[in-house]
Every structure is written in structure tokens, then in C-alpha cells.
Structure 1
Amino acid sequence: MTRQLYDHQHAAIELLRTSLRNGHTRPMLMAPTGFGKTLTAAQIIRNALNRGKKVAFTVPSISLIDQTVEEFGAEGITEIGVMQADHPLTDASKPVQVCSVQSLVKRQFPWVDLVLNDEAHEMHKVIFRWMAERQSIPFIGLSATPWSKGLGRYYDDLLIAATTKDLIERGYLSKFRVFAPSHPDLKGVHTVGGDYHEGELAAAMDKPQLVADVVSTWMRLGENRPTFCFAVNRAHARSLEAEFQHAGITTGYIDAYTEREDRNRIGQAFNAGRVKVVVNVGVLTRGIDWDVRCLILARPTKSEKLFVQIVGRALRTAEGKEDALILDHSDTTLKLGFVTDIHHEHLDTGKPEEGSSARPAKKQKLPTECPAAGCSYVKPAGVHKCAACGFEPVYRKAVETVDGELHQVGGKTRTYTQAEKQRFWSGLLWYVEQKGKSEGWAAHSYKDRFGVWPRGLSARPVEPDIQCRHWVKSRAIAFAKGMEKREHANAA
């Protein structure tokens, strides 16, 4: 029994009809996570079959072949042949051909009247060769993130029936909250092909204090939710897996070499609650509909496409799910913005836009981290009151300053929680371990801040939060100014 289309899916099909009627032969349909791409594609195929047409549907990896066949079968499309090695469903006479791009490289292209190219942003050369050889038939690109550089050289019309923001506002996707609990030092990590150099990035992220912070933060903020954790490479992922296991948290591991049976077994345990966290290396960004309610981003990226694909794994709705929790240990949200802010109205042609003298579009303001100690909630630009802790900075008018001495007057003293003190102390110990500071410096710095010595606290270093960094920086500035003042006094 086929499912009914939602209004945005009807709109997508109507946009496609209009585009093809207007002479476009290479339309690109943007279908964000949660759009219902498979259902929409099934309806497009059904419409073509009703007119006596043959259709090819391409997938970017062999692992998606059987999944696609099963999903189409559930929508009543069963006359399917498969182009992938010696697959048991190989049958060139069937009106629908599900093809892996890997097999297309080695075989003749099927003779069809329409091609649907899934995950079109991956820009496989064999698809472009097919386009060049069969210019008379339409190729429809499908992608949640059709923003690849040069994609507009091959597709001629971007169709946007809905955005991630639209789907969240209408309840088709989950709301989300973001926390930025740690800030990795990526100095010295180069950029290759538009993103961080993987080896250098792994070396920067696979450090004991950062790995430990991922786990301790999840235990503090993760609410015991079913969680995906994205790592940089296999070694980094294994470090994270080991740290979670050491903390007594049942953890699964998946990478590109994980057998399908093992992946299915982990998925079943995850959905049953027997596995709380699944650490992976970039393989759970597509074709996955598990009930993910928390996502750990331990893999910094400059790629909007990768960022949106990753966060999208946590945005599917589920029974009893009020929102998704994003624990961003990569600073990616602070650098790229929320996934709902990332949007492009045009395909990239790889060339300067015509009318370059036109005024450039205003750049989206980036979100900010709550400055309250121990919070780390990420707020939208322009929002002053933190929705997580309620902190709201008080802005004062500029005042005139004069030299003089400060004396304490009456008033309430800020009371700090044990967790806030521990986080500050752990941050100071990070400076001892990473920056060569002495333990005496750390102890005296703690006493300067809180008025007592750091007794009864854990001696585990953790990368400092923004409050600790600002405090240490302010002390260094004050010390430098004091030295400068004394030098001037001695010179006089």
C-alpha cells in the first residue's frame, strides 16, 4: 500500500513538471533530511511507468542498493532490475533499473527515458559522462545539500520545495539545541580540498583531554539519550569508543569496513536501547533512519554539506522526542552557523556570478556561546538571554575612569557550584599539561578566583572553557601591564 504525499512532496513534483515543461533537462531537487525523498522519487517513477517510460535510479554506494529496492518495493514498485556486480535481481528487461555508480563505470548505460541521480552533490564523473552521451533524456538530481562547487555546470535548475528550517517549523523535523562544551586548538591544521587535512585534524582531536571531555560532557548533558558520535578517523573513533566503554557506557563502532550484518546488529541494539552511543567515521550520514536523539560532533569541518548531513541524522522526529541535542566539540556551529541558517538559492557554476558589481548579499550573523560559567549553550545571533541557564548579560553605559585604588564594599558575593569550580580547576591543569605552566601557578590562580585552595577536586586536566580562557588571558594582560608600569617607574 502506497503512502500519501505531503504537501511539500506534491510541491516538489509540480516544480519538476514545470521545470521540464520550461525546457530544463537537468533539474536539481533539493530534498533536506526528513523531506521524504524516497517517497517522492517513488511517485516520480510511478508517474513515468504509467506513461510507459523506463527509469534508472542511481545510488552512490553498493550498500544502498538493497535498501533502495526494499523501499521502492514498499511503495508498490516491484518490477526492478539491479545493476551491481552479479546481484540476484540483475535483469536488464525490467522497466526500473537501480544502479550503483561503481557498476556504471564498467558497463554500458541502460537505455531508459529518465534518470534519477541520488546524492547528486557527490558529482561522480560517470554520471556526467552518461549525461553527455544521452543528452536527449532528462536527468533529475536529488540532494539534501546541492552546494558542490561546479554542480551548476551539469544541472540547470535548482528546485527548492522546502528547507530544513521549513520542515522544523512545520513539525516534519525535530527542533534542536546546541552546546559548545569545548574548543579545539586547530592551529597548524591545513586545509585540503576545502576541508581540514584529515591526518592533521585527527592528531589535533585525538588527545586524551579532548576525548575525555567528550565522554564527561555526554554524561553531564547527554541525558542518557541514544547518541551518534562522529569522529575524524578510525584511530580517533577507537579512542572515543574506548573512553565511553571505560566510563561504563555501552558503545558501538561503525566505519566503512564494518560488514552489513554487523551494522544491522548494532542498529538493532541501538534501537532497543542496549547500545547508547555509536561512534562512527563519516558513514552514518545517509541512508540511516535510526532514532537518534543526541549527536556528538567531535569532527570539525569547514564543509557546509558535511555539517548539514551529519546534524541531519539527529533531526528525524520520533515518538516522545521533544528535541535533538547537539554536543558540538568542534566549534563548527560557531563558525558556520546553525544548520537552519545554511541555505543557497542557486547552483554553483564555478564561475563568478554575472553582474559582479552588484551589492553582495549580507552575511548571516553567527550564533554565540553563552558566557555563563559551565553553560556552553549556543544562542542565535541577537539573543541575549540564555534559554538553557537563564543568564542575561547586563549592559552598562560607558563610564569615565580615573586612576586610583579599589576597595571592597558591601554586597553579595557570587556563589559557584562544585561543578563550576571543578571545570575551572581542570582547565588550569590543562594549561599546566599543554602550556608548561607550573602546578603552583594553577593552585594560586584557583585561589585568586575563588579565595580558597583547590582541595577535594579531581586532578584530571580538561581543555578550558571560554570563561577559564578569558580569566587566564585577563590575568596575563594585567601582569604584563604591571610589569610595564614598574619598568617605567624604574626608568624614571
Structure 2
Amino acid sequence: MSRFDLRPYQQEFLSAVRRDFREHDHILGVAATGAGKTILASDLMRGWNGNCLFLADAQELVRQNADKYFGYAGEFAGIEMADSKALLGDRVVVATTQSICRRLDKWPRDYFGLVIVDEAHRNTLGAMAAQVLLHFESAKVLGVTATPFRSDRRQLGSFYEKISVEIGLARLIKEGWLSRIVIKSVPLPVDLSQVRTTAGDYNEGDLGDVIMPHLRQAARLIAEHATGRRTVAFLPLIATSQAFVKACREEGLRAVHVDGNDREGLRAYERGEYDLVSNASLLTTGWDHPQTDCVFILRPTKSLSLFQQMVGRGTRIAEGKENLLLLDPLFLSDDHSLIRPARLIARSEEETTELSERLSGGGEVDLLEAEEEVEEVRQSRLEERLVKAARRKARTIDAIEFCLSLKAVELADYEPELPWEGKPPSDRQLITLAKAGFDTDCVSCRGHASKILDLLFMRREHGLATPKQLSWLRKFHYPEPELATFEEAQLFLDEHFNRKAM
């Protein structure tokens, strides 16, 4: 991809960020794994008038992002990590939060005008991140996160003022930028109840102990469900990965283990000499092979980011690739922190439960189709609320009805995430909405009002039908009323009312 060849959603992301930096200092952008986060950061830093800091929370991501920035912008980035030390004078610096926190005394407080915080949901509120952000308190801050969970983002409201844009996984799949994901739940009786937690995730040594006895059964599952597919498997330890490959070969599979000391097997896999490549976290970042169309995660985790990264190794599109098969081992656990496939797109615990029920019902289940079923249930509940809303004022538009007419179910069932969003609507918002014909009693809070007004202004910019027109078009069963222009709606309604008057 050339530096100027941005995808439409990437242009949308960057436009929203640049627009909101005019009014806010700290903003959050949601971009799913596979959206090209490095491209987004690189384009923003390349065009920034001043010095920029990119904060990562893992060493392997620092060099990766520095290299990709050079490839995109043609400008070297200083690296602040371990033995590498960036220099005063470097316009762009990529650093681990831990390293730059220990070396703050060398950086003037006003040195950076822009700070980009990667994995913002876990790299913003920690003690070290807080010190760094406080030190560069005059800088504009963009947090980037891939989590769709409202509760994760709500915690960030103490620092970020606004969620500027959200480019979710479901959207990237629907628009054809990423592969469709098919989930198949497979029985693997690994009991996680005695596995300890270390640094917020399952202890890898304990995982190796409980998974090792089941590797032959896991290999049989690959042979049964992924024949003809190109598979990447994730295990907790190098020894476990090596043992899994041995079990796979005993089942007649062409499998290879790779680790940091031996990557020749990875190149052989990419050439098609093997059908399965197994590893222990080596391939979670910085590696893509678009032809990979099966992911088998034998490394249960409580980290959504790690889970997203593992799944992301198979979400790239490729010629002839129909979908990504995500084999989901049904680990034995009552731990609600265990990440399951539903968490890739679910926005809440309730949605996670509903989606998980559909995904674990047997057979292959398309992730988007399951989400659409959950959305239909939500829409049905909201429509029931509309029917019961007898208090609604005559000749006014209900906010829920307006959002549903545009298929914006998430906005119809809006919940505030940042503190300011939960405040009562402002007088100016209420006046504007009332002029547009809305029943303002149906607008729940300031964030809800802001989202509706954004939608209104966008439709006005594109010359689309007004809310009042939409309401009438729906009553008269106009086909796809949300796509009608203002003029088309006016002509149709004039003709309809004239016929009734005759």
C-alpha cells in the first residue's frame, strides 16, 4: 500500500480524529485488528506539525511500528526501548511505556505535540502511562483500542473526552476488507479450574500441564474439521507446540513447529510445504499469510487483545479464500474472564451470552449471521418499546423509531460510555432536536443527543430525507426509505397526499 492509498474507512478515521482535535485534547479511536492501525498512526504522525510519540505496551511492537512508519512515511523514527535510546531532535519516537517512563527527565515537557497510545484500554490508566501522559500534559493524545466492549471504554472516560470514531470488525468484514469468520465449537475437555493467574492472564506453565494430555485429541480435531485448510495453531509453551506437532504428524497431518530460534519452517509453510504451523505466541503480531484460513487457539487467554491478535492471523483476504474457520475448543471453565469468540464483536456481557449461545450450538456458524440474529432480537425489543410508548406526543418523532428506520440499532439502544455523555442534553441540543421534529423526552442523555445530531447533519450534508419525511415514508412502505433523497421523498409524499385529497 502506498502512503496515499488509504482505504475509505481509514480516511474516515483520520478525518474524525483531525476534526475532533480542534475541540478536544484527549480522544479515543476504536479500530479493529486488521484495520491497519499502523497505517492510521503513520499517516497522522507524518502530517503532524511537530514532534510525535507512539506508545506501545510490548517490545516486539516497537520495532515493528518504527519499521512500518519508515516504510510508509520515508522518515526514521527514534526508538526508546531497552538498550535503544531515541535522541532529542527525533521528530517521531516509538517507545514502550515502561522505558520512556524511566527516562522522562531527558525529555522536555513540551517536546511532543502528539501522543498516540496503542492498546489504550490497558495502556492509559496504569501508573507508568499516567506518569508519561502527565509529563507531556500539553500534548494532544489519541488512544487507539480494538475492544468493542462498552465497559472497557467506559473506564477510559476519566481521561478521554470523546470517542471520535469506531471501525469495528463486523464492518470491516461486511465491506470486504477482512475475511468472513466461521466459528465451529469442538469438544476438548481441558479443565482450567486449577490454572493460576499470573499478570492478569492464565499461567503458561499451568496451561502447558493441563493441555499436554489432550494434544492427540486436538490433532484429531484438526484432521476432522480442517482438512484442506491452511492452519495456524497457538499453544502456551514451545514444548507444548512441539508436542502438538508430533501428535499432528502421527495423525498424518503435514505440520511444523516454529519459534524464535527456527523460522525456516514458517517459510516452508508459506511455500505450501506444510498445512499447519504451530507456535507459542511467536506469530501473534508482525506476521501475515493471507492464505491461512483456519485458526486453532489451544492457548486459552483472559486477554482480549491477545485473542484478537491470534484470530487476526487468519482474517486477511486472499484470492480463492472463502472464509476463516475459527475452531473454538470448549474449555471447561466457569471463569467469565476466559475470552470466547463472541467477544470479537459483542459490546456487552449480555450480548456475549446471547452470541455465545448461537455460536456454540453445533456445526459451523457464521459470526456475522449470528450477530445479525442478535441484532434482530434487540430490534424486536426496541420496537415493542415503541408500541408501548403511548405517552409519545402527536406529530413528533421518536428517537428510537428514527434510529431503527436507519438500521442504527446501536444508537436506538444507546448507552453512555464517557462521563460527559451521561449528562442531561444541553438546551442547544434540545432546541435543535425539537426544530427537527423530535420528541425530546425520548432523548436519554447528552451523548445520545450528540449521536443523533451527528446523524442528522450527515444526512443533511448528503441531501437525504429528513426525519419527518422518513417517518411518513415508512408508513407508506416506501422501499428503502433511509436511502431516499430529500427531493425523492418530497415528490413521493406530494403525489401520495394529492391522491388522498382527490
The question of a shared fold, defined as TM-score above 0.5 by the shorter chain, is answered with yes
Aligned pair 1:13/2:19, yes or no?
A: no
| Aligned mates of 1:194, 1:343 — CA distance in 2 | 21
Deviations 1:70-111 (A, max 9, x none): 322222331432223454x95431211222334324323642
Aligned pair 1:232/2:228, yes or no?
A: no
Cα deviation for residue 171 of structure 1 reads 0.2
Cα deviation for residue 177 of structure 1 reads 1.6
Cα deviation for residue 322 of structure 1 reads 1.4
Question: What amino acid does structure 1 have at the position aligned with 2:354?
Answer: Q
Aligned pair 1:132/2:122, yes or no?
A: no
Residue 210 (structure 2) aligns with = 204
Question: What amino acid does structure 2 have at the position aligned with 1:100?
Answer: T
Residue 96 (structure 1) aligns with = 92
Cα deviation for residue 199 of structure 1 reads 4.5
Cα deviation for residue 133 of structure 1 reads 1.7
- Secondary structure at the aligned position of 1:343 is classed as coil
Residue 3 (structure 1) aligns with = 4
**Contact residue 300 and residue 339 of structure 2 kept, 8 A:** no
Question: What amino acid does structure 1 have at the position aligned with 2:193?
Answer: G
Residues 381 and 39 of structure 1: is their aligned pair in 2 closer, same or farther, counting only changes over 3 Å? closer
Cα deviation for residue 115 of structure 1 reads 1.2
Residue 194 (structure 2) aligns with = 189
- Secondary structure at the aligned position of 2:94 is classed as strand
Aligned pair 1:244/2:248, yes or no?
A: yes
Question: What amino acid does structure 1 have at the position aligned with 2:141?
Answer: F
Residue 166 (structure 2) aligns with = 161
Residues 254 and 327 of structure 1: is their aligned pair in 2 closer, same or farther, counting only changes over 3 Å? same
Pick from 218, 223, 235: which aligns with 2:222? 218
The gaps in structure 2 that reach 5 residues or longer are: 371-502
**Mapping for residues 216-365 of structure 1, pairs under 5 Å:** 216-254=220-258, 258-259=260-261, 262-263=262-263, 265-291=264-290, 292-331=292-331, 336-343=340-347, 364-365=354-355
Instruction: Give the structure with the larger helix fraction.
Output: 2
Residue 366 (structure 1) aligns with = 356
| Aligned mates of 1:36, 1:381 — CA distance in 2 | 21
**Contact residue 35 and residue 172 of structure 2 kept, 8 A:** yes
Residues 243 and 74 of structure 1: is their aligned pair in 2 closer, same or farther, counting only changes over 3 Å? same
Residues 344 and 152 of structure 1: is their aligned pair in 2 closer, same or farther, counting only changes over 3 Å? farther
Residues 270 and 382 of structure 1: is their aligned pair in 2 closer, same or farther, counting only changes over 3 Å? closer
- Secondary structure at the aligned position of 1:135 is classed as coil
| Aligned mates of 2:342, 2:352 — CA distance in 1 | 17
- Secondary structure at the aligned position of 2:102 is classed as coil
Cα deviation for residue 229 of structure 1 reads 0.7
Residues 319 and 191 of structure 1: is their aligned pair in 2 closer, same or farther, counting only changes over 3 Å? same
Greater Cα offset, 73-82 or 162-171: 73-82
Greater Cα offset, 335-344 or 138-147: 335-344
% of aligned pairs identical? 25
Question: What amino acid does structure 2 have at the position aligned with 1:271?
Answer: E
Cα deviation for residue 237 of structure 1 reads 2.3
**Mapping for residues 448-467 of structure 1, pairs under 5 Å:** none
Residue 35 (structure 2) aligns with = 35
**Mapping for residues 6-155 of structure 1, pairs under 5 Å:** 6-23=7-24, 25-48=25-48, 51=49, 53-87=50-84, 90-108=86-104, 110=107, 111-123=111-123, 125-145=127-147, 148=152, 150-155=155-160
Question: What amino acid does structure 2 have at the position aligned with 1:318?
Answer: A
Residues 222 and 115 of structure 1: is their aligned pair in 2 closer, same or farther, counting only changes over 3 Å? same
Residues 270 and 100 of structure 1: is their aligned pair in 2 closer, same or farther, counting only changes over 3 Å? farther
- Secondary structure at the aligned position of 1:218 is classed as helix
Cα deviation for residue 303 of structure 1 reads 4.3
Residues 60 and 267 of structure 1: is their aligned pair in 2 closer, same or farther, counting only changes over 3 Å? farther
Deviations 1:23-81 (A, max 9, x none): 2x222221112212122112111220xx3x11112333333333323322222331432
**Contact residue 297 and residue 330 of structure 1 kept, 8 A:** no
Question: What amino acid does structure 2 have at the position aligned with 1:206?
Answer: M
Cα deviation for residue 376 of structure 1 reads 4.0
Cα deviation for residue 156 of structure 1 reads 3.5
What root-mean-square deviation, in Å, do the aligned CA atoms of Structure 1 and Structure 2 show? 3.4
Question: What amino acid does structure 2 have at the position aligned with 1:7?
Answer: P
Cα deviation for residue 184 of structure 1 reads 1.9
Question: What amino acid does structure 2 have at the position aligned with 1:2?
Answer: R
Residues 156 and 247 of structure 1: is their aligned pair in 2 closer, same or farther, counting only changes over 3 Å? same
| Aligned mates of 2:235, 2:93 — CA distance in 1 | 35
| Aligned mates of 2:196, 2:233 — CA distance in 1 | 23
Greater Cα offset, 139-148 or 90-99: 139-148
Question: What amino acid does structure 2 have at the position aligned with 1:162?
Answer: I
Question: What amino acid does structure 1 have at the position aligned with 2:20?
Answer: S
TM-score by length of 1: 0.63
| Aligned mates of 2:142, 2:196 — CA distance in 1 | 32
| Aligned mates of 2:89, 2:12 — CA distance in 1 | 32
Count of residues paired in the alignment: 354
Residue 364 (structure 2) aligns with = 377
| Aligned mates of 1:365, 1:295 — CA distance in 2 | 19
Cα deviation for residue 191 of structure 1 reads 6.5
Deviations 1:356-378 (A, max 9, x none): xxxx989634344687xxx7434
Residues 191 and 155 of structure 1: is their aligned pair in 2 closer, same or farther, counting only changes over 3 Å? farther
Question: What amino acid does structure 1 have at the position aligned with 2:60?
Answer: S
| Aligned mates of 2:352, 2:287 — CA distance in 1 | 35
The gaps in structure 1 that reach 5 residues or longer are: 346-359, 384-492
Question: What amino acid does structure 2 have at the position aligned with 1:11?
Answer: E
- Secondary structure at the aligned position of 2:278 is classed as strand
Deviations 1:212-266 (A, max 9, x none): 12212222221332221112334432321221243454434345xx25xx44x44
